[in-house]
Structure 1
């Protein structure tokens, strides 16, 4: 069945923009989506992965090596042929063990042939794609720690049972959760690049339109997807243009000064706020086809880059987003 088209998702503009920015520059560090149930969190992530063009890999490689990387992973990758595969979208279940996530000794091969061999885990399957964790706030903390470390380094190192294996694991990490079911520890939340909040739409027109589109998709998924193909193609071209333009864009000193001033004003912990602001603003400028990064790009991405990095102020009961908007108003008018 055809997946729900990315362009057909009603409202949730901030979530969609955060996903587009992360797809343009995976170095941003993933997206955390907190909000109500049934607001399209997983639908949007799956739809974005599905619309991306197939990627080329070395045939027979379990680690999704590019053809020019052949022979650099734990698999021999001896075939000179290559093939196209869909961009991976890997779900990490809450009950997953560390072995299943990182990879482990292939017991079947060890028992059958007496050989020590490595069985790739979910991180290898997600390489060059998306790793999605629903209800990440319920995932064991040590697993979240491991995932964020690998997402930041781009490599997975496994040393156990006499094996020492290192392989690439570069993916867009997307976590989602409902705040009512427990919060993610602040030191872990801070490691995500972007954080967005999604809410059930209040406008009757939007709620009706959601029902219409869901009904049309359920009745004839292929026809519905075809009707949105042109819009999804525009999104795909926008991402491709952004990825191509990204490396040529520099952030001017005055805009970097604005970023530092804003982070200081809101009391963001550490320097991850500035670095994420810089990368996100640059990715947004690239997506928009801008010739340079400007303050308007900074202001648009500021809430999603900073809201999860603020210290809690017991004397200020307003939420993080309001504090950021208030600081922007004071600093920039």
Structure 2
């Protein structure tokens, strides 16, 4: 159905324009984004394996960080959820369902199911802890003896993507809560002796401009991957980016339709990779070499080892293979380790180049021997 709106201009002319009867805001297609391959790869790998631990995207202003992050969410296939559940509970996976749904299943109750788009939740800088975690209605609990919980953003983001723009400006205690929930997969709210827990498994994506401040090293380490974005210098590429954006701004539906085939192909590739991931194997010698690289770089803890292993397997699955190669590891190791290196103000070499240099040394020694 087409609605006709008559718009009167200052010159008393009458123009009739057609407006499509839709309430869905158009989102720039992921496959139409030009350049920024490092950022796109990091997002895709986190979607394939959310246990990688999210991605921190740092770069110049106006480089398409927010546009790319929202585009990856729109690209993903719909997920099955329990109808009218506040936590996007999975109908069969215990780790992804709320306690209420578990109780209903234990009582052999029938659950109504539906499918929704993967949740994409924005966390504003001014958010409070109650808005993030949710609140308990103490008055109702005391007067009626009922636990009344108002879900927060962590509940809405379960099984989806939680995006924090300018994460380096977010209050440290909120960042701590975010990272703890992302690592454990659960959010617990304690108020006046009342405790409520719900699943909070999401891909945490943060973005920021390093000119506005850096994250504390112990917090930065909690992000699985770190992508650095730079302004495109090639004039021809810059023109192409401007043309794609202008085309979308002028006629979003046409731009989306032109990219539909590529979008569907990438969506199928991601789904196949998710299904293949569990069967991907990595040679024991490669795992030893990865740990040797982390040790040589003096990386604290074992998160670097774990993330590099997961990311290499996800990259392998993304390309439809089941055996990780050296090239797979080389492609993702900078993304996985560059933000875990200790800062040395006298160091002249870039952290990414340092990671690659140690990688070449360790893996080439292994090949030669």
Structure-2-length-normalised TM-score: 0.86
| 3-state SS in 2 of match to 1:290 | coil
Please report how far the alpha carbon of residue 113 of structure 1 lies from its aligned counterpart in structure 2 after TM superposition.
Answer: 6.7
Structure 2 unaligned spans of 5+: 1-24, 365-369
Show the counterpart of 1:61. Answer: 85
Show the counterpart of 2:15. Answer: none
Structure 1 unaligned spans of 5+: none
Q: Is the 8 A contact 2:59 2:208 kept in 1?
A: yes
Show the counterpart of 1:246. Answer: 277
Q: Please point out which of 99, 106, 109 is paired with 1:73.
A: 99
Q: Is the 8 A contact 1:31 1:196 kept in 2?
A: yes
Show the counterpart of 2:39. Answer: 15
Alignment of structure 1 residues 143-182 onto 2, 5 Å: 143-182=174-213
| 3-state SS in 2 of match to 1:307 | helix
- The reply to whether residue 89 of structure 1 matches residue 120 of structure 2 is yes
**Structure 2 Cα separation of the partners of residues 265 and 72 of structure 1:** 43
Once structures 1 and 2 are overlaid, which stretch shifts more, 316-325 or 87-96? 316-325
Q: Please point out which of 25, 30, 53 is paired with 1:29.
A: 53
| 3-state SS in 1 of match to 2:154 | helix
- The reply to whether residue 312 of structure 1 matches residue 343 of structure 2 is yes
Q: Is the 8 A contact 2:279 2:322 kept in 1?
A: no
Show the counterpart of 2:323. Answer: 292
Give deviations 1:178-215, integer Å, cap 9, x for gaps: 00000000000001000000011011111101110111
Query: Alpha carbon RMSD of aligned pairs, Å?
Result: 2.0
**Structure 2 Cα separation of the partners of residues 124 and 73 of structure 1:** 13
Once structures 1 and 2 are overlaid, which stretch shifts more, 19-28 or 42-51? 42-51
Please report how far the alpha carbon of residue 16 of structure 1 lies from its aligned counterpart in structure 2 after TM superposition.
Answer: 0.2
Show the counterpart of 1:325. Answer: 356
Show the counterpart of 1:230. Answer: 261
**Structure 2 Cα separation of the partners of residues 114 and 260 of structure 1:** 53
Once structures 1 and 2 are overlaid, which stretch shifts more, 264-273 or 140-149? 264-273
| 3-state SS in 2 of match to 1:159 | strand
Once structures 1 and 2 are overlaid, which stretch shifts more, 199-208 or 60-69? 60-69
Asked which structure has the greater CA Rg, the reply is 2
- Number of aligned positions between the proteins: 333
